[in-house]
Amino acid sequence: MNEFFDTISVNMKPATGLAHVSESQETFELHRVLPPALKPLEAISANFYWSWNPDGTQLFRDLDPTLWDICEQNPRLLLKKINKLRLWQRAADTEYVERLKRFDAKFNEYLAAKQHEASSPRIAYFCAEYGVHNSLPNYSGGLGILAGDHLKSASDLNLPLTAVGLLYRYGYFRQRIAHDGWQEETYNDIFESELAVSPVYDSNGERVTISVHIRGREVVAQAWLARIGRIPLYFLDTNVEQNSDVDRLITGHLYGGDTETRIVQEKILGIGGVRLLDKLGVAPDVYHLNEGHAAFSTLELAREFLKANPEANFADAVENVRPRCVFTTHTPVAAGNDMFAPASLTACFSEKFITSLKLTTDEFLALGRSDLSNNEEYFGMTPLAIRMCRSANGVSAKHGEVSRGLWLKMFPDLADADAVPITSVTNGVHAPTWIAPLFQSLYQKHVGTDWNEMVRDSDAWAAFIYRLSDAEIWDAHMTLKSLLISFIRERTRAKETGLLNTINEHEDTRRLFSPELLTIGFARRVAAYKRWDLLFTDLDRLLKMVDDADRPVQFVFAGKAHPQDRTAKTILQELMSINHESNWQNRAVFLPDYDQEVAKYLVQGVDVWMNVPRRPMEASGTSGMKAAMNGALNCSILDGWWIEGYNGENGFAIGDLEADLSDEEMDAADAEALYSTLENELIPAYYSHDERGIPAEWVRRMRNSLATLTSQFSSDRMVTDYLSNIYTD
Ligand SMILES: *Cc1c(COP(=O)(O)O)cnc(C)c1O
């Protein structure tokens, strides 16, 4: 174990239930002693609450702005590295110390608020990834960010929720683009840096561990705790001395391994997760399996039931487990669901485990089949979850419908897909995390500090947005756009550029981008269905827009390709190598290493957020919601959340809702619709400034977007929906 952790001692009171987190008395020692006036920074840095409070973030940045960026916004690392003189200067700065005191008081008040236990069941939330903040590299993309936002809203709404995940030692990959435009991956060893997680000890001072039987051995996993405001997020980690080298790497990489590693990870998460909660004394009323990765947890609950009720059979166990479990599916295609070969599964689950469920191996394997008559079918985590949970839901209305069609085959008695018991809860994003501090302070100035509570009341929120002046909205947006442009120039500056002169590296970035120009953002995973190449269908037509003398357009791109997806990497390389005799080189950039930090600059600074997936592949999409909350206009295919969000005035819709076309015909039709929307609607609206220098028609749409989409797509609304429609029976 890394020496950093050795210097931390955390005395947690024995866990006695969900309330223990706010009661825990811990001593959290850094490598160094902070001046007494700065002491509160230790506890503040140990809870991610600061990360969704601009005044909290500002406290760390103001310690040393340059170092803050070098440390990639990681407070624990900053506090370790910052030079002593600097610390003592801040400690002597009365304005700073006052601010720190105020934030510390607010933080403690937040933690101390009483939970309304009676009004909510106790919830356990399981997910394979969590995107809470960049300084906790535990996510790859949308699923993780959604889970992080879910926890933050559960915290703000003060729900009794405990989360469980895996601590990946190497996290997800960091992206680099080589001179030839090819994506390269690197992994950081998180144990060399400092994380805001603490080891969990029991009342005897022993490290809390669980074990799971894997490949003939007992694999041990130790528990860590991250604090997400009022919500405890526990991680399991197999990197312990008792384990073999291979087993220590089970929780090595997020989505990096082969199928077998994947099953084993999912065993640790699902089965180990249930065991961990038992050990901690957490007794959930509801287990929420966010995506199928954690579906093995239902088998562990069944095993526990059968152990306590030796005369019962598996059907009895299902009757006991189903009412306690709910499941959310996140993908609209069968291939996107985890599937394991029967042999891989039986290699990972012992006879003993299967027998303890009172099942034969065939019956066990059938739990993961969608078609019970097909003995060859792979074991799917989604069929397992649908069978073992009392409720299943998709993540937008459309995705609910698509999922009902996809899983109809599991219900041969049902006449049509409408009757399939899969509902939907549309995703949302955490407003205080994603709305730019500048807009937050504008809101705060007008409504007081509780602007986020007003977001929960959609009518009051809309009325408030209509009281802001055009100039207030436009000026805030233009300031944010300038910040984005500085960020772009900084991120793309390179000492030496490569042969291709790619759009992710520039020697001279001064001429790159202009705040006056219409700026379109496109950032998402590089995958075929996201259609990165749609924009380039007719390059001449695109470049005509980019080069236009009076009304030019500029583009900013970002996104990672899966390390094993060569097709996706080729798409990226092609984008990188468009090297045209035009303004393209100065008006298009690719920002490497798309993560939460890059996402924030993008969604807060662009004029337009573009999304052109092939219907109906976008289960929900959440980045467009983040952009909408910052006044950017969505220009998107009517799919996922946008079907629900678009009202004709608050952005732009590309293509029709339904069409009976082949993929090729659909791509051509959508490309045409995209170009003509840009040329005929979007560009003219953006460039018609009135006598005040404000594009009034544009601001009218921005206002409509801010007013109609913020409440509807906030994760507070989402978690409230889960509470009333899913968690509460
Ligand atoms: C929001 C977000 C996503 C998910 O956005 P989509 O619209 O689903 O593509 C992915 N990655 C990062 C870094 C994000 O912030």
Please tell me the predicted confidence (pLDDT) of residue 9.
29
Which CATH number is 435-713 given?
3.40.50.2000
- Cα of 141 vs centre of ligand 1, distance in Å, is 6
Q: SS3 for 723?
A: helix
Tell me, rounded to whole angstroms, the distance of Cα 352 from its chain centroid.
Answer: 37
143 touches ligand 1 (CB under 6 Å): no
Residue 228's DSSP bridge partners are 231
Round to whole Å and give the CA distance between 220 and 267: 12
Contacts of the segment 719-726: beta carbons below 8 A, 24+ positions apart = 719/150, 719/153, 719/154, 719/157, 719/159, 719/428, 720/157, 720/456, 721/425, 721/426, 722/288, 722/425, 723/120, 723/157, 723/159, 725/423, 725/425, 726/288, 726/326, 726/391, 726/393, 726/423, 726/425
pLDDT tens-place string over residues 34-74: 999 999 999 999 999 999 999 999 999 999 999 999 999 99
698: its two tokens = 């544009």
Query: Which fold would CATH assign to domain 117-427+722-727?
Result: Rossmann fold (3.40.50)
Round to whole Å and give the CA distance between 552 and 489: 19
266: its two tokens = 């999912």
CA angle in degrees (0–180, nearest 5) for 386-389-394: 55
Tell me, rounded to whole angstroms, the distance of Cα 170 from its chain centroid.
Answer: 18
Average pLDDT over residues 389-399: 98
Strands (DSSP E) found in 427-568: 518-523, 553-558
Please tell me the predicted confidence (pLDDT) of residue 11.
31
Whether residue 165 has pLDDT greater than 60: yes
Which of 129, 145, 174, 435 has most ligand 1 atoms within 8 Å of CB, for mutation?
A: 145
Q: What is the DSSP letter of 619?
A: S
Q: Which atom of ligand 1 is nearest to the CA of 525?
A: 9
Whether residue 115 has pLDDT greater than 90: no
Round to whole Å and give the CA distance between 258 and 129: 17
Residues 6+ apart with CB under 8 A from 171: 137, 138, 187, 188, 190, 253, 254
Whether residue 16 has pLDDT greater than 90: no
Tell me, rounded to whole angstroms, the distance of Cα 596 from its chain centroid.
Answer: 8
Please report which confidence band the pLDDT of residue 573 belongs to, taking 50, 70 and 90 as the band edges.
Answer: very high
- Cα of 150 vs centre of ligand 1, distance in Å, is 14
Whether residue 494 has pLDDT greater than 90: no
56 touches ligand 1 (CB under 6 Å): no
Which amino acid is residue 630, in one-letter code?
Answer: N
Q: Quick one: which H or E segment has residue 325? A: strand 325-328
Round to whole Å and give the CA distance between 28 and 448: 34
Please tell me the predicted confidence (pLDDT) of residue 193.
54
- Cα of 215 vs centre of ligand 1, distance in Å, is 36
Where are the chain's structural domains?
A: 32-112, 117-427+722-727, 435-713
Average pLDDT over residues 423-428: 98
427 touches ligand 1 (CB under 6 Å): no
Please tell me the predicted confidence (pLDDT) of residue 658.
72
Average pLDDT over residues 126-134: 97
Residues 6+ apart with CB under 8 A from 707: 461, 462, 465, 466
- Cα of 623 vs centre of ligand 1, distance in Å, is 5
Residues 6+ apart with CB under 8 A from 668: 537
Round to whole Å and give the CA distance between 227 and 592: 29
404: its two tokens = 């009902």
Please report which confidence band the pLDDT of residue 506 belongs to, taking 50, 70 and 90 as the band edges.
Answer: confident
Average pLDDT over residues 409-416: 93
594 touches ligand 1 (CB under 6 Å): yes
142 touches ligand 1 (CB under 6 Å): yes
Strands (DSSP E) found in 445-584: 518-523, 553-558
pLDDT tens-place string over residues 203-233: 999 999 999 999 889 999 999 999 999 999 9
Please tell me the predicted confidence (pLDDT) of residue 484.
98
Asked if residue 147 lies in contact with residue 204, where contact means CB atoms within 8 angstroms, the answer is: no
Whether residue 521 has pLDDT greater than 90: yes
Q: Quick one: which H or E segment has residue 575? A: helix 566-576
Whether residue 707 has pLDDT greater than 80: yes
Of 568, 570, 662, give the one whose Cα is nearest residue 614: 662
Which of 132, 427, 622, 637 has most ligand 1 atoms within 8 Å of CB, for mutation?
A: 622
Please report which confidence band the pLDDT of residue 25 belongs to, taking 50, 70 and 90 as the band edges.
Answer: very low
Please tell me the predicted confidence (pLDDT) of residue 423.
98
Q: SS3 for 209?
A: strand
- Cα of 146 vs centre of ligand 1, distance in Å, is 9
* Cα-Cα-Cα-Cα dihedral sign, residues 434, 439, 444, 447: negative
Residues 6+ apart with CB under 8 A from 462: 707, 708, 711
Q: SS3 for 609?
A: strand
Please tell me the predicted confidence (pLDDT) of residue 117.
58
List, in sequence order, the alpha helices (H) in 64-207: 65-70, 75-81, 84-91, 94-112, 142-156
Q: From atom 3 of ligand 1, which residue's Cα is the shortest distance away?
A: 142
Q: SS3 for 635?
A: strand
Average pLDDT over residues 262-291: 97
Alpha carbon dihedral 609, 614, 619, 622, in 10-degree steps, equals: -10
Residue 521's DSSP bridge partners are 556, 609
Q: Please state which of the ranges 252-261, 313-322, 431-440 shows the lowest mean pLDDT.
A: 252-261
Same fold, 117-427+722-727 and 435-713: yes
Please tell me the predicted confidence (pLDDT) of residue 30.
58
398 touches ligand 1 (CB under 6 Å): no
Which of 623, 636, 637, 639 has most ligand 1 atoms within 8 Å of CB, for mutation?
A: 623
Task: Report percent pLDDT > 90 for the chain.
Answer: 82
Average pLDDT over residues 513-531: 95
The predicted model scores a pTM of 0.94
Q: From atom 9 of ligand 1, which residue's Cα is the shortest distance away?
A: 524
Please report which confidence band the pLDDT of residue 191 belongs to, taking 50, 70 and 90 as the band edges.
Answer: low
- Cα of 122 vs centre of ligand 1, distance in Å, is 29
Q: From atom 1 of ligand 1, which residue's Cα is the shortest distance away?
A: 623
Q: What is the DSSP letter of 173?
A: P
Please tell me the predicted confidence (pLDDT) of residue 199.
93
Q: SS3 for 322?
A: helix
